[in-house]
Structure 1
Amino acid sequence: MTTSSPGRSPARPFLSLFEALATPHAVDRYLELLDPMATAREMRARVVRVDRPTPDSVVIELRPTRHWQGCRAGQFVQVGVVIDGVRHTRCYSPTDAECGSRDSIRLIVRAHRDGLVSQYLVREASVGMVVDLSTAAGEFMLPARRPEQVVLVSGGSGITPVLSMLRTLVGEGFAGSVAFLHYTRTLDDVPVLGELRAIDEAHDNVAVRVVETSVDGRLRREHLDAVAPWFGPESEVFVCGPDTLSASVQEMLESEGFGEQMHTERFRIDPPAPAGPVGGVVSYARSGVTSANTGASLLEQAEAAGLQPEHGCRMGICFSCTAVKRSGRTRNLRTGDTHDDPDQPIQLCISAPVGDVEIDV
């Protein structure tokens, strides 16, 4: 396969010219008036199939535009939808086996109590709907060289990336040992329960167990022993779910000297308590709005002030909420580090103001 450099593409100079003429709007803003899937730079996807296996979930199959480059098992994409005139973006992990640039992707979306986008998709997703789509990203994925023994642990909606891993290994005819351990409140909450049971029965090297937390409680060593009696130094563990599940697996592995063999995808961030007294004023330069600093993240404070900055994952992964801090000190909610340099891009969802701060929102 041959490739050409961006500088040699005959279409690129014309595209740049059109963009200059289209200012202040991007070319895609005009193209989407003719066909939402006819984009020059932005990637989108059309919904080609919708299933609702449970009352609070939806399985969506998407056919991306030509920009799609495929996805590694375990990675995530950003999906954007317009709700009441405002574009909202969230991160979802495709559940398919690893796919190429010509493949469609499937997402399982479960409605969360406070999930604006998830509730919208569960309620409104239909064949023909067009959504924004990002390239696949994330470091939580199967290594190119597969481990001899793979343990997949998930809880709730965390099933999606490890389901992709399981489907990939099964599809490849993986000959090593695979254990799949999923925690759910009830069996009715698992939209792929039938498929998991079929995989368990069809493959001697794959063991699947779905634990109902309402019946059998949370993670215990005997749960792991039931699906991975071979667990040991050759095993690699991939965990996705609530922080409590990840912490429990980490504690169990570290107690047995296997802590470094765990790979995890976190759902959310538990920020540390504010350092020092909260005070000062947050100024939103472009909007001309000011508000008292409450100590919460800049994204939360902006929303509380009536603003709607662009955002995605709300946990510092997707960088959708990046904005320029013009002045003041901010603190990274994940690390606790403070930053004083002016005119620097920061992520609103994981940055909190320390005193007076001016942000370009």
Structure 2
Amino acid sequence: MVGLIDVVQTLTAPHPLDRYLELVRPTFTLRDLRAEITAVHRSVPGSVTLALRPTRQWRGHLAGQFVQLGVVINGVKHTRCYSPVNSQARSGRHIELTVKAHPNGLVSRYLYHHATPGMVVDLAPAAGVFHLPDPRPDRVLLISGGSGITPVLSMLRTLADENHAGEVVFLHYARSPQVVPHRGELDALARRHANFRIALRYTQHAVEQRAASGPAAPWTCAATVAGVSRFGYDELQRVAPWFADAQTYLCGPPPLMAEVRAVYEAEQLDDRLHTEEFTVTAAPTDSADAEGAVTFSGSGVTAENTGATLLEQAESAGLTPAYGCRMGICLSCTAVRHSGCTRNIRTGGLDSDPDQSIQLCINAPVGDVDVAI
């Protein structure tokens, strides 16, 4: 069958067969993985939850992994990475994504404003090393902040579907209760599972007055005064006194990530902390690095080195290299550096070996560099 498809692909050149099949039906593909949006919910301010039905090529995901979603905006396809929030036990022909519309997020804002049932998007197989291990740890601590809730929510739902018998704590930081997606479900999960504890922390806004509804439910733990619930060792002792014996999974904004790492490093528990980042934390730079020129030899373009990442400099030069996450996770922007030295903006490490594959989004040129794009 594969050989026959290859023959047909040759006959339909220069376009792949799927380009013709999509004219009949966008989800009718032989090789390309796509998904149809079947439901859209905007129940949380600034976020949209999408239910998707992928094509037959979908093989599911592990709780915590991400997918690349591609949408066409004004005739140009843009790809971004999002973590499914549904349980991996329910990831057959079903994906659920919760996307926060970031102020400068082209794709996230497009989905928030324009996603509708029936829309077809491009999809890539689930990837990433941030996921629950098998067998499951006896004790699991999940920590998230803001939009970092998505991968750890998938983990929490998976453990619930598996009736995990060990201790589980989910500690989430948000500005206010209103912006926490799936908040009602979090309470319901804790009601059904006596070994689960949900701890919600609100960092910028006062929590709603609870006088009318009576005392807080025993399965929840929420701060009642704005700005008091910062992460620290004492917080860990309150919500998960057994954290030193647990496996911890962390995803959130850089300040929260740094605070958690500091505690785990001080306790010498680095090997028990597993992290996923949605933003790039750049290492300190040296202004002297911004010298020389960047040659994009595949396009015949040369530009003065500004010190920005190679992806940003390529875009400033009018080029459109492929990219996905823009933070060094998805590998979509990998290209060959023919010559010159580059600095990894995440680690600060320098590399000058010729003809090496590098990720454009997390590497900046140090002096003259030639990249094959």
Letter of the aligned partner of 1:133 in structure 2? L
**Equivalent of 1:199 in 175, 182, 189:** 189
In structure 1, the partner of 2:321 is 309
In structure 1, the partner of 2:273 is 262
Q: Does 1:174 align with 2:185?
A: no
Letter of the aligned partner of 2:247 in structure 1? E
Structure 2 Cα separation of the partners of residues 190 and 259 of structure 1: 28
**Equivalent of 1:253 in 253, 264, 274:** 264
Identify if the C-alpha distance between structure 1 residues 26 and 280 changes in structure 2 by more than 3 Å, giving closer, same or farther: farther
Partner secondary structure for residue 325 of structure 2: coil
- The CA RMSD over aligned residues, in Å, is 1.9
Give the conservation status (yes or no) of the 8 Å contact 1:325–1:359.
yes
Identify if the C-alpha distance between structure 1 residues 68 and 350 changes in structure 2 by more than 3 Å, giving closer, same or farther: same
**Equivalent of 1:298 in 299, 310, 323:** 310
Structure 2 Cα separation of the partners of residues 262 and 101 of structure 1: 26
In structure 2, the partner of 1:8 is none
Structure 2 Cα separation of the partners of residues 190 and 248 of structure 1: 21
Structure 1 Cα separation of the partners of residues 238 and 91 of structure 2: 38
Letter of the aligned partner of 1:310 in structure 2? A
Deviation, 1:341, is 4.2
**Equivalent of 1:92 in 54, 76, 82:** 82
Letter of the aligned partner of 1:204 in structure 2? A
In structure 1, the partner of 2:331 is 319
Structure 2 Cα separation of the partners of residues 53 and 297 of structure 1: 37
Partner secondary structure for residue 161 of structure 1: helix
Identical residues among aligned pairs (%): 51
Identify if the C-alpha distance between structure 1 residues 115 and 327 changes in structure 2 by more than 3 Å, giving closer, same or farther: same
Partner secondary structure for residue 249 of structure 1: helix
**Equivalent of 1:359 in 360, 367, 371:** 371
In structure 1, the partner of 2:180 is 190
Q: TM-score, with normalisation over the residues of structure 1?
A: 0.91
Identify if the C-alpha distance between structure 1 residues 290 and 76 changes in structure 2 by more than 3 Å, giving closer, same or farther: same
User: Which deviates the most, 148-157 or 298-307?
Assistant: 298-307
Structure 1 Cα separation of the partners of residues 268 and 295 of structure 2: 49
Give the conservation status (yes or no) of the 8 Å contact 1:48–1:62.
yes
In structure 2, the partner of 1:64 is 54
Letter of the aligned partner of 2:332 in structure 1? S
Identify if the C-alpha distance between structure 1 residues 232 and 302 changes in structure 2 by more than 3 Å, giving closer, same or farther: closer
Give the conservation status (yes or no) of the 8 Å contact 1:147–1:234.
no
Give the conservation status (yes or no) of the 8 Å contact 1:112–1:119.
yes
Give the conservation status (yes or no) of the 8 Å contact 1:207–1:228.
no
Structure 2 Cα separation of the partners of residues 161 and 277 of structure 1: 36
Q: Does 1:75 align with 2:75?
A: no
Deviation, 1:100, is 6.3
Q: Does 1:121 align with 2:133?
A: no
Q: List runs of 5+ in structure 2 lacking aligned partners.
A: 205-225
Deviation, 1:278, is 1.7
Identify if the C-alpha distance between structure 1 residues 63 and 224 changes in structure 2 by more than 3 Å, giving closer, same or farther: same
Q: Does 1:43 align with 2:55?
A: no
Give the conservation status (yes or no) of the 8 Å contact 1:321–1:348.
yes
**Equivalent of 2:124 in 122, 130, 134:** 134
Identify if the C-alpha distance between structure 1 residues 346 and 256 changes in structure 2 by more than 3 Å, giving closer, same or farther: closer
Partner secondary structure for residue 88 of structure 2: coil
Give the conservation status (yes or no) of the 8 Å contact 1:43–1:67.
yes
Structure 2 Cα separation of the partners of residues 293 and 202 of structure 1: 57
Structure 2 Cα separation of the partners of residues 175 and 101 of structure 1: 22
